[in-house]
Amino acid sequence: MLPNPSTDDLDPSTAGTSIEAFSVLLRRVHARAGRQSYRQLEKWAQAQRASGRSNIWLTKSSISEALTSKKLPSRQFVAYFLEACGVPTDRAAAWIQAWERIAEHHHVLNPSAPNQRAQALAVERAARDRAERQLVEERKARTHAEHQAATATAGREQAELRLAHERTVREQLDRQLATEQAARQQAEKRFAASRRQVAAERAAREQAEDRTTAARSAKEQVEQLLASRQHAAEQLRVTLMETEKQLAAEQSAREHAEQLLEAEEQAAVNDVEVAVALERKKREETERLLAVERAKWQTLDEAGEQLASLMHRCELEPTELSTEVEELSELEPAAAAAELLSMYSLRAAVLLAAMSPDLAAVILAQMAIDDAGPLVASMPLPHAVNVLNQGTPGQATRLLSAMPGARAASIVRYGPVPRPQDD
């Protein structure tokens, strides 16, 4: 029951002597108290009788008749109904006076009864006792609410710890990126050293070419000496043959060295390209993991904020939400489904999101697809996906088809959601 709903602007005296106007005011009190279901009000009366107040009777049929028919309810019903809706005792007295005025006008009261005043005084004393007990219960509820606030503070501290952990993970990833950048710089240095080595080998090849040029010059000198020194012609011929062999060997060695240089240069270039490609892949994978991690925490935070926003729109406190979820879990699935369908859809969606996904799926299975689909669509994305994954792929497909197209597409993208071929 909502304690002390705002009913100061509802003046029962404005009903005059009209039963219909009095019923309209009672319906407004019911709306200010959160539009509790008739079953909840009946359960409240049962709890009061169990605590010793045996004269309190509120049933679903009597509540429905009082709020919708043109028949004036009894005085006891009005007093108990106002108490169940959380109207303070000092405000309830004005409602009883308005009821007496209407009852007297419609000859519901018996003015000739000699003990009517004594009975009224007894009823007022009983109402005063009930008001005192109600104040005690309200103090207990306030203490419980303070405890819930402390629990919420602890929850915020846990969220701050999670944020600190996320910062630590991000710093570790940054350090890993720095290490990979250092490895890339070392690879670039090795590539530069390879280029220097290639340059040195090219210089050696040029020196070999210079030696070849010098050998050719010596051959020309030998030929000139042959013309002038025929005495040493045979010896010079042998020397010339050896020189030609040496030139051929040097030419072969030079060609082999050039082939080795080209192969080593190509291998060095390939190694650098592979290292750069691997480093690029690692960096892209690291950035993707960071993006996934950020999206995960952001989605969870948004889901919590969406659920809190929905609770605020429904005027649901955390304690009231826990109580209603517990009451629904004690019912049979079909009865729980009927109870949810008797509420307005946003409140029912909040209660389903606060349940365990398997229980929510069982209750939704008892509803028509056209009723269940919009309820799932009203949940935050993580809760909706968890509920859809509790059923079969066929059930998930039917629920998605009963939602607006844009909302169903958002749920599928957030996924994973079971597909029909997996059924």
pLDDT confidence tier of residue 78, bands split at 50, 70 and 90: very high
* Together in a domain, 77 and 119: yes
3-class secondary-structure state, position 205: helix
CB atoms within 10 A of CB 279: 15
CATH number at residue 377: 1.25.60
In a domain? residue 116: yes
For residues 341 and 132, which has the higher predicted lDDT (pLDDT)? 341
- Which of 83, 118, 146 terminates a domain? The answer is 146
In a domain? residue 330: yes
* Together in a domain, 276 and 366: no
In a domain? residue 300: no
What is the DSSP secondary structure assignment for residue 114, as one 8-state letter?
T
Find the mean pLDDT for residues 275-282: 83
In a domain? residue 208: yes
Lowest model confidence (mean pLDDT) among 108-112, 138-142, 158-162: 108-112
In a domain? residue 307: no
pLDDT confidence tier of residue 111, bands split at 50, 70 and 90: very low
Q: Which of 421, 345, 353 is nearest to 388 (CA)?
A: 353
Distance spanning both ends of the chain, measured CA to CA: 44
Lowest model confidence (mean pLDDT) among 90-104, 124-138, 153-167: 124-138
Number of domains observed in the structure of the chain = 3
Contact 350, 310 (CB under 8 A): yes
* Together in a domain, 50 and 105: yes
* Together in a domain, 20 and 139: yes
For residue range 156-208, list pLDDT tens digits in order: 788 788 888 888 888 888 888 888 888 888 878 888 887 898 888 888 888 98
* Together in a domain, 176 and 74: no
* Together in a domain, 118 and 37: yes
What is the per-residue DSSP string for 33-83?
A: TT---HHHHHHHHHHHHHTT-TT----HHHHHHHHHSSSPPPHHHHHHHHH
- Which of 257, 281, 305 terminates a domain? The answer is 281
pLDDT confidence tier of residue 338, bands split at 50, 70 and 90: very high
* Together in a domain, 402 and 319: yes
Domain carrying residue 333: 314-422
* Together in a domain, 273 and 392: no
Most confidently modeled range among 98-102, 163-167, 298-302 = 98-102
For residue range 17-40, list pLDDT tens digits in order: 999 999 999 999 889 888 888 899
For the entire predicted model, the pTM comes to 0.32
In a domain? residue 160: no
pLDDT confidence tier of residue 290, bands split at 50, 70 and 90: low
pLDDT confidence tier of residue 4, bands split at 50, 70 and 90: low
- Which of 231, 259, 281 terminates a domain? The answer is 281
In a domain? residue 87: yes
Structure tokens at 156: 């915020």
Mean residue pLDDT across the chain: 81
For residues 306 and 324, which has the higher predicted lDDT (pLDDT)? 324
* Together in a domain, 416 and 339: yes
Find the mean pLDDT for residues 48-75: 87
For residues 25 and 107, which has the higher predicted lDDT (pLDDT)? 25
pLDDT of res. 125: 56
pLDDT confidence tier of residue 333, bands split at 50, 70 and 90: very high
* Together in a domain, 402 and 325: yes
Q: Say if residue 285's pLDDT is above 80.
A: no
Degrees (nearest 5) of the Cα angle 372, 375, 377?
A: 110
* Together in a domain, 265 and 325: no
* Together in a domain, 106 and 173: no
pLDDT of res. 120: 46
For residue range 209-254, list pLDDT tens digits in order: 888 888 788 888 878 877 788 887 788 788 878 888 888 888 888 8
In a domain? residue 303: no
